[in-house]
């Protein structure tokens, strides 16, 4: 039986060149569908990786209640003083490990398209830098407090024009000198401009206010002590969450959108490709009806005939799936792009095509191949011998 199945499968596959154009059409159709799906999934995955790589469990982020994004939040000096004494926030000899940060939006221009885009401009102090151990200067030096100096993230320098070290740029009324480029390990901070918090407060008339406070937690992941403090004090209308949870929420919307746009599109297109696959396979069965009838007449049971057709379809679909995956990988993987994140600012991210994403593409191809082969295979296996001969004649 097994020998019968393998011999019929190999017969089927060797007969593919007889239906070259139709088979090729199926392969290409499946390849296109898989490539489209993979492009969307890689985009969703890349966006998620960038944002989730940004958040740490060791830090808490404090925002004004209900503000959800850094840009919407505002905190007064008094609130910061009160909350920084809260249990749950780590301290060292200089006091609580907190970083009040100013966050505002400035305009930049994309290098490739010259499109004006919103860039996040973060005011930060030395403590803030201490709280981000994964951040390092890769070119030039760090800004000096009190001076109009900025350092820019790697992604900003790559994607937007005018941020070379040594350049002077106008942000607001003042001129700022770019003194360094930093890397934050592919996280969202790579898409930011940083400067000394007090200098930014002065230049942008922000008084003593900031947007958010980052704080080092005594126990990683545990913000309950800070929540207690907030609840017990009327002045503190704040939300607190771990940095990790914060960026997880931020990534959810956009990556869900891409994900839920990608799958229905791919499924709709897969249905179209399925129609093509069914067409091809029914045609294959019709073309080989004489051959099938002969096999049945000399004693082959229906099952090997069934598997022969099913496998032919699976092979075509798999070929298409691999072709689509390779094409998508070569074309999209690592491609950088940017979109608006939830703070209304550009987030630069890469298409990230990992094994999971590729596997999804191959599975989709196999599903098309399976359904596209199953029904024609059923017809082949049930073909009455006499009718088949008549049809072939």
List of residues contacting other proteins (CB under 8 A):
21-22, 25-26, 28-29, 32-33, 35-36, 64-68, 71-72, 74, 104-107, 113, 115-118, 171-173, 204-205, 237, 265, 268-269, 271-273, 275-276, 278-279, 282-283, 337-340, 344, 346
Closer to other proteins by Cβ: residue 138 or 268: 268
Structure tokens at 171: 């942000």
Q: How far is the CB of 141 from other proteins (least distance, A)?
A: 26
Between CA 68 and CA 343 the distance in angstroms is 9
Closer to other proteins by Cβ: residue 185 or 207: 207
Closer to other proteins by Cβ: residue 200 or 310: 200
Counting DSSP H helices and E strands in the chain, the numbers are 12, 14
Closer to other proteins by Cβ: residue 28 or 303: 28
DSSP state of 108: E
Between CA 249 and CA 182 the distance in angstroms is 25
Q: How far is the CB of 280 from other proteins (least distance, A)?
A: 8
For residues 116 and 108, the answer to whether their CB atoms sit within 8 Å is yes
Give the dihedral of Cα atoms 120, 121, 123, 124; nearest 10 deg: 60
Q: For 82, phi and psi rounded to 5 degrees? A: -65, -50
Q: How far is the CB of 266 from other proteins (least distance, A)?
A: 9
Among residues 203, 195, 209, the alpha carbon closest in space to that of 64 is found at: 209
Closer to other proteins by Cβ: residue 177 or 203: 203
Instruction: List, in order, residues 6 or more apart from 202 with CB less than 8 Å away.
Output: none
Structure tokens at 195: 């400067």
Q: How far is the CB of 217 from other proteins (least distance, A)?
A: 25
Provide the 10 A C-beta neighbour count for residue 363. Answer: 13
Q: How far is the CB of 375 from other proteins (least distance, A)?
A: 9
Structure tokens at 196: 């000394």
SS3 of residue 279 by DSSP: helix
Closer to other proteins by Cβ: residue 7 or 337: 337
Q: How far is the CB of 117 from other proteins (least distance, A)?
A: 5
Closer to other proteins by Cβ: residue 268 or 363: 268
Measure Cα distances from 276 to 23, 28, 353, 385 in Å: 9, 10, 27, 27
Q: How far is the CB of 219 from other proteins (least distance, A)?
A: 30
């Amino acid at each position: 039986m097994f020998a019968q199945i393998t011999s019929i499968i190999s017969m089927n596959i060797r007969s593919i060149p007889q239906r070259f154009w139709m088979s090729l059409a199926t392969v290409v159709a499946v390849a296109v569908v898989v490539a489209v799906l993979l492009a969307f999934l890689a985009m969703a995955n890349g966006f998620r990786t960038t944002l989730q790589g940004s958040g740490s469990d060791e830090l808490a982020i404090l925002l004004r209640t209900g503000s959800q994004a850094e840009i919407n939040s505002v905190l007064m000096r008094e609130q910061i003083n009160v909350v920084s004494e809260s249990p749950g926030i780590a301290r060292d000899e200089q006091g609580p490990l907190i970083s009040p940060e100013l966050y505002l939006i400035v305009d930049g221009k994309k290098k490739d398209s010259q499109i004006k885009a919103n860039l996040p401009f973060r005011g930060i102090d030395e403590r803030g830098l201490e709280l981000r151990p994964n951040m390092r200067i890769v070119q030039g030096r760090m800004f000096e407090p009190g001076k109009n100096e900025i350092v820019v993230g790697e992604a900003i320098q790559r994607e937007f024009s005018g941020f070379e070290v040594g350049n002077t740029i106008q942000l607001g009324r003042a001129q700022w000198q770019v003194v360094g480029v930093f890397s934050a390990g592919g996280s969202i901070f790579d898409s930011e401009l940083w400067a000394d918090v007090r200098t930014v407060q002065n230049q942008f008339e922000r008084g003593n206010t900031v947007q958010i406070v980052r704080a080092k937690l005594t126990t990683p992941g545990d913000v309950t002590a800070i929540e207690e403090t907030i609840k017990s004090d009327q002045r503190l209308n704040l939300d607190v969450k771990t940095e990790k949870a914060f960026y997880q929420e931020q990534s959810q919307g956009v990556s869900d959108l891409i994900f839920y746009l990608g799958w229905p599109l791919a499924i709709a297109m897969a249905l179209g490709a399925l129609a093509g696959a069914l067409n091809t396979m029914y045609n294959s069965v019709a073309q080989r009806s004489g051959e099938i009838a002969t096999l049945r007449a000399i004693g082959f049971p229906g099952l090997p005939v069934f598997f022969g057709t099913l496998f032919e379809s699976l092979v075509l679909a798999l070929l298409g799936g691999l072709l689509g995956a390779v094409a998508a990988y070569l074309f999209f993987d690592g491609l950088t792009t940017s979109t608006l994140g939830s703070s209304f600012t550009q987030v630069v991210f890469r298409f990230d095509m990992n094994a999971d994403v590729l596997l999804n593409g191959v599975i989709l191809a196999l599903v098309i191949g399976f359904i596209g082969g199953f029904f024609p295979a059923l017809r082949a296996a049930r073909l009455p011998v006499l009718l088949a001969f008549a049809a072939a004649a």
